[in-house]
Amino acid sequence: MASEFDLIQRYFTRNTPQALLGVGDDAALIKPSAGMELAISTDILVAGTHFFADTDAYKLGWKTLAVNLSDMAAMGSKPRWATLGLALPEINEEWLAKFSEGFFACAETFGVDLIGGDTTRGPLTLSVQIMGEVPAGKAIRRDNAKIGDEIWVSGELGTAALALAVLQNKIALSESEMSIYRLALEQPEPKVHLGIALRDIANSMIDISDGLLADLGHILKRSKVAAHIHLEQLPTCNYVSHHLHEKPIHKLVLAGGDDYELCFTAPKSQHAKILEISQELTLPISCIGNIIAATDGDFSSTVYNQQHQIIDIKETGFDHFA
């Protein structure tokens, strides 16, 4: 039977041109570029909580890295290095081959070196530490949203949550429809290039992993402001847009999570420039509301429908300990 070190050598050891020393020693060695600050983040994916245990291994490998790249995108950081921790219930070399193929496909797409990690026996758990670079003083943080800023989001909201609802038999869709929406859930595309393009434009930014209202809420709380959101301005897929008047669909779009799109705020003076970036990247970017002053310490979002009525939604997003 293959040992832990055999598995690392066979499936997770590749050339690391961006590192001084990669996989194979007690620690990796990296050298940040001159004038750059390091951005570092960690995410853990657990079978049964973040993904179904029978998820396609290639797509899971891709997503394991992609969700971390999304954190880099949200800081305006260029991702460069990653480490990978794997807890495996058993050695399944066919699964490992597909998982590593998907992981490295994502890594190569975005120019990331896997420089180390660890494996152990246990419930299927995937942990990545991602490291990137951003010019000194240029990181886009959560705590700088300004009153009067417009609020923008990239891509579509609620598509991944829709696919999950179908898999949980809460919504019925045809197989052809589901094949399109399922990709958003299982193989998200991190918006790294958009994050970098927004370095001198956005005042604040976050990636949408737990749901729009929950994640935007982090910006509002850190910046001590509030927000107005217009439901009809939210970018959605065809199914969701056709059912946007239904309350269960409100939850998918506003609190569904797993979107891995970017939500950011920027001055109105940057409106035209943001639309230019949208065209250059061939990526939809939609203005969905604006930042307002908070009243009595209420740093939250108010969501309005097309009739300018307030939509009451109790669940704002996913919480592991709720």
Which residues participate in the annotated binding site for Mg(2+)? Answer: 26, 41-43, 71, 118, 207, 210
Q: Token pair for residue 220?
A: 């509002």
Query: Annotated binding site, which residues?
Result: 26, 41-43, 50, 71, 117-118, 142, 207, 209-210, 258, 318
What would the 3-class secondary structure string for the chain be? CCCHHHHHHHHCCCCCCCCCECECECCCECCCCCCEEEEEEEEEEEECCCECCCCCHHHHHHHHHHHHHHHHHHCCCEEEEEEEEEEECCCCHHHHHHHHHHHHHHHHHCCCEEEEEEEEECCCEEEEEEEEEEECCCCCCCCCCCCCCEEEEECCCCHHHHHHHHHCCCCCCCHHHHHHHHHHHHCCCCCHHHHHHCCCCCCEEEEECCCHHHHHHHHHHHHCCEEEEEHHHCCCCHHHHHCCCCHHHHHHHHHCCCCCEEEEEECHHHHHHHHHHHHHHCCCEEEEEEEECCECCECCEEEECCCCCECCCCCCCCCCCC
Query: Annotated binding site for ATP, which residues?
Result: 117-118, 142, 209
